[in-house]
Amino acid sequence: VKRHARVHYACDALNLLHRLDKGTSGVMVYAKSAEAAKYYLRLQDQRGAITKDYLAVVRGAPPRAAGRVAGGICPSRDRTSYVIRGKGSGKAVLTTYRLLASECHSRLGKLSGLSLRLFSGRKHQIRASCRHLGCPIVGDDRYGGPAFGPVLPHA
């Protein structure tokens, strides 16, 4: 990516503007200048100015076809994962979700496709939100999902 930017856009320094959790696929956003990076970060601080949408395959289904997970995200007691608790504990998170479809898998049981939108970009937010809903991401054994190849969130 850096070589492509240098050759095609005469840009020597790219600024990475966000990250994806290990195992998550999707689009990465870079700024070609420090000024553009600062502008993006200002927008990111404005609620709703930048949205991050993800698709995930989960085991089971959420309690409702659409809803939200809001509260505070903090490390679990054993510090191996993150959990979402009530507001006032940890860092504030807001994730909305929508059920896209559900199917029965011969080995894993009921699987569902979710569309998730993050209004805060906390570490492991999607993974913790899905576990909080009772439907962990397929392939994410750290958060209770069934082992099945790679983790399946996509940005």
Percent of the chain with pLDDT over 70: 94
- Looking at the structure, tell me whether residues 23 and 98 fall in a common domain: no
Q: Which tokens belong to 143?
A: 């958060």
- Looking at the structure, tell me whether residues 7 and 58 fall in a common domain: no
Q: What are phi and psi of 48, to 5 degrees?
A: 85, -5
pLDDT at 17: 86
**The domain boundary residue, chosen from 31, 50, 69:** 50
Whether 153 and 137 have beta carbons less than 8 Å apart is answered as: yes
Q: Outline where DSSP puts E strands in the chain.
A: 15-16, 30-31, 52-59, 66-75, 82-85, 91-105, 109-118, 153-154
Whether 102 and 126 have beta carbons less than 8 Å apart is answered as: no
> Which residues form the catalytic set?
21
pLDDT at 149: 64
- Looking at the structure, tell me whether residues 65 and 122 fall in a common domain: yes
CA-CA-CA-CA torsion sign (118, 92, 21, 58): negative
- Looking at the structure, tell me whether residues 27 and 98 fall in a common domain: no
pLDDT at 43: 84
- Looking at the structure, tell me whether residues 43 and 8 fall in a common domain: yes
Q: Is the pTM of this model over 0.85?
A: no
Q: What is the pLDDT of residues 22-71, one digit of tens each?
A: 777 788 888 888 899 999 888 877 766 778 899 999 999 999 999 999 99
pLDDT at 2: 75
Structural domain for 135, as ranges? 52-155
- Looking at the structure, tell me whether residues 88 and 150 fall in a common domain: yes
User: Domain holding 142: CATH number?
Assistant: 3.30.2350.10
Number of domains in the chain: 2
Lowest-confidence pick of 12-21, 69-78, 136-145: 12-21
- Looking at the structure, tell me whether residues 130 and 92 fall in a common domain: yes
The most confident of the ranges 8-17, 21-30, 122-131 is: 122-131
- Looking at the structure, tell me whether residues 7 and 41 fall in a common domain: yes
pLDDT at 89: 83
- Looking at the structure, tell me whether residues 42 and 59 fall in a common domain: no
